[in-house]
Amino acid sequence: MKTKLAPIVAVLIALLAGSCGYKVSGRYNGLPENIRSIAVPVFDNRTPKFELEQVLTAAVKRELAERSNRQIVSDKETADAVLTGTILSYSTTPIGIKSENVGTSFSIMLVVDVSFYEHKTGKVLYANPQFVIREEYALSNQTKDFYLEEGPAIERASRSFAASLVPTILESF
């Protein structure tokens, strides 16, 4: 009798486990159905930091492509929704100092004004006028390496920004 029930119990467990609602992939489809494409134009950079807008925009596009099933486009005229960003400030501050008053570690801080809206209606779906990103990096003993260390820190900050922003937008619905 025990062997006759085992297959039935196994099937019931499989059915119940399969209908629990958990997702295996990292994709989330929480956006309204009418949004099939998202435009991410290059962010506006109001800082003197060269090409910062390119790095942040690329990170956001990559994260959106990985986490949603929507088409990501550059032209906002062809999109159902638009995600814009304006980099308001960029600063590098020493947080560790050697005895010679030379910085050994630094903190990067970016402030970005972000807006996500429906293209046709202009309805704002998400906005954060002061999205703050921070990243730290250590300076090597060679002064010339200051900018070599800063670049990877900006890349990490951009990935962190995108990894925080995109799920917030996708899960707001």
Cα 116 to chain centroid distance, Å, stands at: 13
| 55-77: burial string, b at 16+ Cβ within 10 Å, e else | bbbbbbbebbbebbebebbeebe
Averaged pLDDT score across all residues of the chain:
83
Rounded Cα–Cα distance for residues 153 and 148 (Å): 9
* pLDDT above 70: residue 113: yes
Q: What percent of the chain has pLDDT over 70?
A: 74
DSSP character at residue 145:
G
pLDDT of residue 23: 42
Alpha helices in 19-135 (DSSP H): 52-67
Cβ atoms of 159 and 59 within 8 Å: the answer is yes
* pLDDT above 60: residue 2: no
pLDDT digits (tens, 9 = 90+) for 36-89: 999 999 999 999 999 999 999 999 999 999 999 999 998 889 999 999 999 999
- Across the range 137-147, mean pLDDT stands at 64
Location of structure tokens 């309805």 = 123
Residue 19 — very low, low, confident or very high, per pLDDT cuts 50/70/90?
Answer: very low
Residue 11 — very low, low, confident or very high, per pLDDT cuts 50/70/90?
Answer: low
154: left (phi over 0), alpha (psi -120 to 50) or beta: alpha
Domain ranges of the chain: 31-170
pLDDT of residue 114: 98
pLDDT of residue 39: 97
Cβ atoms of 113 and 95 within 8 Å: the answer is no
What CATH number was assigned to the domain covering residues 31-170? 3.30.160.150
* pLDDT above 90: residue 143: no
